DNA sequence: AGCCAGGCTTGGT
DNA sequence: ACCAAGCATGGC
């Protein structure tokens, strides 16, 4: 299925490559990635964004929600302070947007992000999904016509399928290869996977997770997954909380400090006032707004909240992307 | 308070 | 070519 979202001032390249998401890859002129259980191909067109999926889609609301294509960007930009650094960043990153991600995927990704650079975060998250997510069908391939074939997926490489063994060996005496199932060569990297649920991660061991090269973040992710799977933490009910309540709630999770909580609040819960301060932003703020002055991190956060207005998180994204891509 | 915990990239030498 | 620094958090 294919649809065209008409939208102005939307730079897909900048948006999908600005450290908000870690699973999107550019293939030729299009971006391929996963939203929920949809494997999606996105490309920039003259008047918007073209999206393709393998399966029938009647309601594209989930896509508009993820892309935030209805957001009035001009209205957001108008609230930014009129100072030199902001003007430069906005001019340099025209069409940069904030996405609206699934809270769990966002939370887990940012737990894994601590003291990692973006390239490594991508590797870790990719490994996690390949090992423990469910394989998805690529948009270009037709859906399998034989219903039995859909029941004979072999387990992802490196993973024992426990429990529902009914599913793995039903009709066919010999398991179908991935290329039989999907109609293309499913070499590593060609298949896409859903993001593993809290429940599926909660059932793993720390060493399962360490095999994804996440190091000391493995116990953090495992503990967070278990807190959520046990119902001790309700990511859905965090939606009802205001910014500071939600921040305090998320920080109860292992591996979640102020910075990571702010990332999740901004990228998944739509709290535009969240202003994640990582080393890049901290350096930029000190250099641009407090040259040769000693300012504590707390003061810096206070300044950011006061100075950048109700959509401070958007302003942060412009500064972040500007210093990372244009000021290297 | 200050250090350490994977491992991969970046930057300095 | 080699080697240190950087990275956000929790635990000691």
Instruction: Give the CA-to-C1' distance from A64 to B4 in angstroms.
Output: 44
Strand B: positions under 7 A of a protein C-beta atom: 5-11
* Residue A106: predicted pLDDT: 97
Instruction: Give the CA-to-C1' distance from A173 to B8 in angstroms.
Output: 44
* Residue A174: predicted pLDDT: 34
**pLDDT one digit per residue (tens) for chain A, 328 residues:** 999 999 999 999 999 999 999 999 999 999 999 999 999 999 999 999 999 999 999 999 999 999 999 999 999 999 999 999 999 999 999 999 999 999 999 999 999 999 999 999 999 999 999 999 999 976 655 444 444 333 333 334 333 333 333 333 233 333 344 433 433 334 445 689 999 999 999 999 999 999 999 999 999 999 999 999 999 999 999 999 999 999 999 999 989 999 999 999 999 999 999 999 988 888 888 888 888 787 877 788 889 989 999 999 999 999 999 988 887 6
How far apart, in whole angstroms, are the C-alpha atoms of residue A272 and residue A260? 15
Range 203-222, chain A: CB under 7 Å to any strand B atom? 213, 215-216
* Residue A300: predicted pLDDT: 85
* Residue A328: predicted pLDDT: 67
pTM assigned to the model: 0.86
Strand B reaches within 7 A of the A26 CB: no
* Residue A165: predicted pLDDT: 34
Strand C reaches within 7 A of the A258 CB: yes
How far apart, in whole angstroms, are the C-alpha atoms of residue A170 and residue A271? 47
Q: For residue A276, which nucleotide's C1' is closest to its Cα?
A: C8
Sequence-ordered list of residues with C-beta below 8 angstroms from that of A118, at least 6 positions apart, any chain: A19, A22
Strand C reaches within 7 A of the A323 CB: no
Strand C reaches within 7 A of the A119 CB: no
Instruction: Give the CA-to-C1' distance from A65 to B7 in angstroms.
Output: 35
Strand B reaches within 7 A of the A116 CB: yes
Q: For residue A120, which nucleotide's C1' is closest to its Cα?
A: B8
């Amino acid at each position: 299925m294919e649809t065209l979202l008409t939208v102005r001032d939307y730079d897909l390249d900048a948006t999908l490559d600005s450290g908000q998401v870690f699973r999107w890859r550019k293939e030729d002129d299009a971006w391929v990635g996963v939203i929920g259980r949809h494997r999606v191909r996105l490309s920039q067109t003259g008047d918007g964004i073209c999206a393709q999926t393998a399966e029938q889609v009647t309601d594209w609301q989930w896509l508009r929600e993820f892309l935030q294509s209805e957001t009035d960007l001009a209205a957001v930009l108008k609230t930014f302070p009129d100072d030199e650094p902001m003007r430069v960043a906005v001019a340099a990153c025209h069409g940069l947007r904030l996405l609206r991600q699934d809270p769990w995927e966002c939370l887990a990704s940012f737990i894994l992000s601590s003291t990692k650079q973006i390239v490594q975060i991508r590797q870790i998250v990719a490994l996690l999904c390949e090992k423990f997510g469910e394989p998805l069908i690529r948009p270009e391939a037709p859906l399998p016509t034989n219903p039995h074939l859909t029941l004979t997926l072999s387990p992802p490489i490196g993973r024992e399928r426990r429990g529902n063994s009914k599913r793995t060996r039903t009709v066919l005496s010999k398991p179908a290869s991935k290329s039989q199932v999907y109609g293309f060569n499913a070499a590593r990297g060609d298949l896409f996977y859903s993001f593993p649920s809290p429940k599926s991660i909660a059932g793993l061991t720390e060493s399962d997770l360490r095999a994804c090269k996440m190091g000391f973040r493995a116990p953090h992710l495992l503990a967070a997954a278990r807190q959520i799977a046990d119902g001790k933490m309700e990511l859905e009910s965090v939606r009802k909380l205001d910014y500071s309540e939600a921040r305090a709630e998320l920080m109860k999770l292992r591996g979640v400090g102020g910075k990571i909580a702010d990332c999740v609040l901004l990228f998944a819960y739509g709290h535009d006032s969240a202003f994640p301060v990582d080393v890049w932003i901290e350096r930029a703020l000190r250099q641009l707004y407090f040259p040769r002055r000693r300012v504590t991190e707390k003061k810096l956060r206070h300044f950011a909240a006061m100075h950048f207005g109700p959509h401070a998180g958007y302003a942060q994204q412009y500064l972040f992307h500007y210093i990372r891509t244009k000021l290297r």
